[in-house]
Copies of this chain bind each other. A is one copy, B any other.
């Protein structure tokens, strides 16, 4: 079996960095790098909620995801009128659900938090890096709102959230697949978990392949370890703003 790119161990994350306050315009603005995957996660706040929530006294959180045209080896055309990118739709729904699972929307007031995840450079794992970075941007945005909120941020945010991919490549179970591994993988899992070790989402797919119960079990175990490392990195970058115990 050939070794992983850059000599990584099967259970090793790519180098991960967060650049907070990457832009001045959005209250939360985090550039997350996982190896060569680079995503800009911004969190904007709007003083309105969707129609179905108006007058209910609670807030909303939604996400959008897109890849810049130059973010892939072959230029990716932008979404145009009348042409939907099904993959982007799936991903932004996943990001939204994942973040909503750890925010108590009833404590937000009638506000909408917009998490925008724009891929600057894609090398596999863009959706999981988006979730991991979006959590940091969310904390920064809530921090900027602090004076307008009734409750402390540590009450509004009930847990942290991070996400990672795992997969079966050449028969080996690997953590945090980069692009060349992703296309070679028979099975690909995206796992979203809280910092306290609970699951928010498990999506395991065999595209033109299948997998056994035993493989399912050990891939989930591998992901769980990776999430713990991501949570530690989020905690470190947020420092005193870390909203959890």
CB interface residues, A 1-55, toward B, < 8 Å: 23-26, 29, 36, 38, 40, 42-44, 46
Q: Does A64 contact B (CB under 8 A)?
A: yes
Given the known inter-chain contacts A89-B84, A90-B90, please indicate yes or no for A101 contacting B40, CB distance below 8 A: no
Considering the complex, give the chain B residue whose CB is closest to the CB of A206: B200
Given the known inter-chain contacts A81-B81, A207-B101, please indicate yes or no for A25 contacting B70, CB distance below 8 A: yes
Chain B min CB distance to A162 (Å): 13
Considering the complex, give the chain B residue whose CB is closest to the CB of A90: B90
In the complex, the answer to whether B202 meets A116 with C-beta atoms within 8 Å is no
In the complex, the answer to whether A199 meets B220 with C-beta atoms within 8 Å is no
In the complex, chain B residues whose CB is within 8 Å of the CB of A78: 64, 66, 79
In the complex, the answer to whether B217 meets A199 with C-beta atoms within 8 Å is no
In the complex, the answer to whether A23 meets B70 with C-beta atoms within 8 Å is yes
Q: When each residue 72-105 of chain A gets 1 if its CB lies under 8 Å from chain B and 0 otherwise, what string results?
A: 1111001111111011011011000100110000
Considering the complex, give the chain B residue whose CB is closest to the CB of A78: B64
In the complex, chain B residues whose CB is within 8 Å of the CB of A24: 36, 121
Chain B min CB distance to A38 (Å): 7
Tally A residues with Cβ within 8 Å of B. 66
**A42-B75 Cα distance, complex, nearest whole Å:** 10
In the complex, the answer to whether A210 meets B194 with C-beta atoms within 8 Å is yes
Q: When each residue 204-241 of chain A gets 1 if its CB lies under 8 Å from chain B and 0 otherwise, what string results?
A: 11111111110011001000100000000000000000
Q: Does A173 contact B (CB under 8 A)?
A: no
In the complex, the answer to whether B89 meets A69 with C-beta atoms within 8 Å is no
Q: Does A122 contact B (CB under 8 A)?
A: yes
In the complex, the answer to whether B75 meets A121 with C-beta atoms within 8 Å is no
Chain B min CB distance to A24 (Å): 6
In the complex, the answer to whether B210 meets A199 with C-beta atoms within 8 Å is yes
In the complex, chain B residues whose CB is within 8 Å of the CB of A68: 40, 42, 116, 118
In the complex, the answer to whether B204 meets A216 with C-beta atoms within 8 Å is no
Q: A24-B121, A199-B206, A200-B205 are in contact. List 16 more A-B contacts (CB 8 A).
A: A24-B36, A25-B70, A42-B68, A82-B82, A90-B93, A100-B208, A194-B210, A198-B212, A199-B213, A200-B206, A201-B205, A202-B202, A202-B203, A202-B204, A202-B216, A203-B204
